[in-house]
Amino acid sequence: MDFVAIDFETATSHYTSVCSLGICVVEDNEIKDRIEILIKPDPFEFNDYNIKIHGITPDMVYNKPTFDEYWPKIKPYLDGKTVIAHNADFDVGVLCATLEHFNIPRPTFEYLCTVKLSQKAYPELSRHRLNKLCDALGIKFHHHRAYDDAYACAAVMLRILEDYSLLTLAEVEECFEVGIGHLTPDSHLKFSKNKKKKAGSRIK
């Protein structure tokens, strides 16, 4: 199965304050590429709570390009692909809000949430946050680093595919009765531009 795992980190409670993006590319059930992009938020604002979570400081991204400058590089990883994220509502929401902020059309892709998927695949686990889930599955990574979170998300997906002998997205959907999201430039999906919970808090 081919898919791309993503993870965003934000500088504040605003969904448009992207400061880092992790991407992990999987082809034929093998991890082929891992990248992390440090991004200058627009507007250039940080709060201490988010810095404490992910460790990205203003100095680290002050001279980096903004998201719109990176987009031509990022888009080929997503457009026409199957995208997964651990709490896809957050990561797809961040992407959509940021694209709207810069007046950039949305790409087209299918997406799947590994929080919801892992809850179905491993119901015996009491918690499905990324760090707790990976501890249970023996997956080692550095939590709240976009590069590693994207890798961990991909590793979880690969483990589920292996444990349940699944080969395609259609088989995943049928096995677990999980919804597959569909994003297009004309989608009418509406995402909050701010996190509803405490800044930085989400199932990750």
Position 190 pLDDT exceeds 80: no
pTM across the whole model:
0.91
Mean pLDDT of 19-44: 97
Query: In CATH, which superfamily holds the domain spanning 3-183?
Result: Ribonuclease H-like superfamily/Ribonuclease H (3.30.420.10)
Give residue 179's pLDDT band: very low, low, confident or very high (50, 70, 90).
confident
Omega prior to 123 cis, within 30 of 0: no
Question: Of residues 110 and 200, which shows the higher confidence score?
Answer: 110
Domain map of the chain by residue range?
3-183
> In this structure, what token pair is assigned to residue 20?
């880092």
**Which H or E run contains 173?**
helix 169-176
Angle between helices 114-121 and 146-163 (to 10 degrees): 40
Position 203 pLDDT exceeds 70: no
Q: How many CA atoms lie within 13 A of 74 on its CB side?
A: 26
DSSP bridge pairs for 36: 22
CA quadruple 166, 93, 103, 108: dihedral, nearest 10: 20
Q: What pLDDT was estimated at residue 39?
A: 98
Q: pLDDT by residue (tens digit) across 38-92? A: 999 999 999 999 999 999 999 999 999 999 999 999 999 999 999 999 999 999 9
Q: With DSSP H G I counted as helix, E B as strand and the rest as coil, what are the percentages for the chain, rounded to 5?
A: 40, 20, 40
Give the rounded percent of residues in the chain with a pLDDT score beyond 70.
92
Average pLDDT over the chain reads 92
Give residue 13's pLDDT band: very low, low, confident or very high (50, 70, 90).
very high
Mean pLDDT of 127-148: 94
Mean pLDDT of 12-30: 97
Q: What pLDDT was estimated at residue 201?
A: 35
Give residue 118's pLDDT band: very low, low, confident or very high (50, 70, 90).
very high
Q: What pLDDT was estimated at residue 142?
A: 86
